[in-house]
């Protein structure tokens, strides 16, 4: 009986050691200590033991029971501790970061420009990218012999409905707006435009334009200058100077090209002798940012306005050009490649 008990104890302790989890430990407990367990069964046979040996055997059975129970409890405590450790959160670990997007620099520039004009009471108007020759050219006083009407200078679409094309500027949207609305109004029109230029660092067959149009009674060139000055100062800084150079557009008369003082060198390096030339303005001190003028009376006639009653001014700028100047970008193609290493810088 003694040997049998010793053997049973060794087996039980061995099973406790190799038990991998709580469930298998409980199985071991039931197998040896349960109501029908092996040790309990042995205890029931104590009657077969000679009376003189009973106390010793009884003690031994209790000892074995206690040893096995202690081993089970000990193992249960340490494995429960281990399980709790797995669940513990280490708050010193770096957090799980995620990639967030950013506004495209062209969208951001359109928003910045729009904000300046919205604060002056302008409305934003948009229109179709596919246009008719009428709205893209005729309504805007662009004659048939104008070079931009050449099939190689505009994207024409083959359509049974007549001559459709990708708009080469956003002006057709203003022409459509004028037909449907009466002065006075002030609108800006942002959007994509298309010209089949060969692609290089400063040319793209698709780019973005923002045009503006103000029409009413007694709108003057002074209004044009005032509005553009406020816009230029808001976008490029309060100390920005502006200058107008005479120019020509078929849809405005008179017309002008508008420069702002270089916001990097303020024109100073152009004057200073022997210094490295400013990389943004090339030492000229001025940057061309837009074209503008008083709306040609022929355009008003084309949309049904009386040029004796209303006057207006209009302007147009290339968004990519403004963004390149503002952010020091030297290649227009970067805007359209959408490399996240470029986009994440804005």
How far apart, in whole angstroms, are the C-alpha atoms of residue 319 and residue 192? 10
Task: Give the distance, in angstroms, between the CA of residue 207 and the centroid of all CA atoms in the same chain.
Answer: 19
Residue closer to ligand 2NL (CB basis): 95 or 304: 304
Q: Are 149 and 137 in contact (CB under 8 A)?
A: yes
Output 143-146 pairs: Cβ under 8 A, ≥24 positions apart. 143/250, 146/250
Q: Which residues of 105-117 are buried (b: 16+ CB within 10 A; e: fewer)?
A: bbebbbeebeebb
Residues constituting the chain: 346
Residue closer to ligand 2NL (CB basis): 32 or 236: 236
Residues 6+ apart with CB under 8 A from 14: none
CB of 105 to ligand 2NL, least distance (A): 18
CB of 295 to ligand 2NL, least distance (A): 5
CB of 224 to ligand 2NL, least distance (A): 10
Q: Are 217 and 183 in contact (CB under 8 A)?
A: yes
Residue closer to ligand 2NL (CB basis): 75 or 225: 225
CB of 182 to ligand 2NL, least distance (A): 15
How far apart, in whole angstroms, are the C-alpha atoms of residue 49 and residue 57? 8
- The token pair that represents 32 in the structure block: 């040896």
Residue closer to ligand 2NL (CB basis): 19 or 228: 228
Residue closer to ligand 2NL (CB basis): 191 or 291: 291
Residue closer to ligand 2NL (CB basis): 75 or 298: 298
Comparing every residue's Cβ against ligand 2NL, the nearest one is 316
Q: In what order do the strands lie in the sheet with 164-166?
A: 130-132, 164-166, 156-157
CB of 269 to ligand 2NL, least distance (A): 26
How far apart, in whole angstroms, are the C-alpha atoms of residue 25 and residue 37? 14
How far apart, in whole angstroms, are the C-alpha atoms of residue 236 and residue 263? 7
Residue closer to ligand 2NL (CB basis): 317 or 324: 317
Alpha-carbon dihedral of residues 30, 33, 36, 37, nearest 10 degrees? 80
Residue closer to ligand 2NL (CB basis): 72 or 142: 142
CB of 142 to ligand 2NL, least distance (A): 11
CB of 130 to ligand 2NL, least distance (A): 18
CB of 180 to ligand 2NL, least distance (A): 13
In the complex, which residues of this chain contact ligand 2NL (CB under 6 A)? Answer: 140, 171, 174-175, 209, 211, 213, 249, 251-252, 290-293, 295, 299, 314-318
Residue closer to ligand 2NL (CB basis): 240 or 311: 311
Residue 8 vs residues 12, 39, 59, 107, 250: alpha-carbon distances, Å = 6, 8, 15, 81, 109
CB of 172 to ligand 2NL, least distance (A): 8
């Amino acid at each position: 009986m003694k040997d049998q008990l010793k053997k049973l104890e060794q087996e039980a302790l061995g099973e406790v050691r190799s038990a991998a989890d709580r469930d298998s430990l409980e199985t071991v407990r039931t197998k040896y200590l349960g109501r029908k367990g092996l040790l309990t069964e042995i205890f029931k046979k104590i009657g077969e033991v000679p009376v003189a040996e009973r106390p010793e055997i009884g003690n031994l059975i209790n000892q074995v029971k206690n040893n096995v129970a202690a081993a089970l409890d000990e193992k249960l405590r340490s494995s429960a501790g281990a399980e709790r450790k797995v669940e513990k959160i280490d708050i010193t670990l770096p957090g799980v970061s995620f990639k967030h997007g950013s506004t495209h620099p062209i969208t951001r520039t359109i928003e910045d420009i729009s904000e300046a004009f919205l604060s002056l009471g302008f409305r934003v108007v948009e229109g179709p990218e596919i246009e008719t020759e009428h709205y893209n050219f005729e309504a805007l006083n662009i004659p048939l012999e104008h070079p931009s009407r050449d099939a190689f200078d505009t994207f024409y679409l083959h359509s049974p409905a007549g001559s459709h094309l990708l708009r080469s500027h956003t002006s057709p949207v203003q022409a459509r707006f004028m037909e449907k609305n009466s002065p006075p109004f002030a609108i800006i029109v942002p959007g994509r435009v298309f010209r089949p230029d060969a692609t290089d660092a400063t040319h793209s067959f698709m780019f973005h334009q923002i045009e503006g149009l103000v029409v009413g009674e007694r709108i003057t060139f002074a209004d044009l200058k005032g509005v553009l000055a406020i816009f230029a100062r808001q976008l490029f800084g309060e100390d920005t100077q502006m200058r107008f150079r005479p120019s020509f557009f078929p849809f405005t008369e008179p017309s002008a090209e508008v420069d702002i003082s270089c916001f990097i060198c303020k024109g100073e390096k152009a004057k200073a002798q022997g210094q490295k030339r400013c990389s943004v303005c090339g030492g000229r001190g001025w940057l061309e940012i837009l074209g503008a003028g008083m709306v040609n009376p022929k355009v008003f006639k084309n949309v049904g306005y009386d040029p004796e009653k209303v006057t207006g001014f209009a302007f147009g700028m290339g968004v990519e050009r403004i963004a390149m100047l503002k952010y020091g970008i030297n290649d227009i193609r970067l805007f359209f490649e959408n490399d996240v290493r470029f986009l994440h810088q804005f």
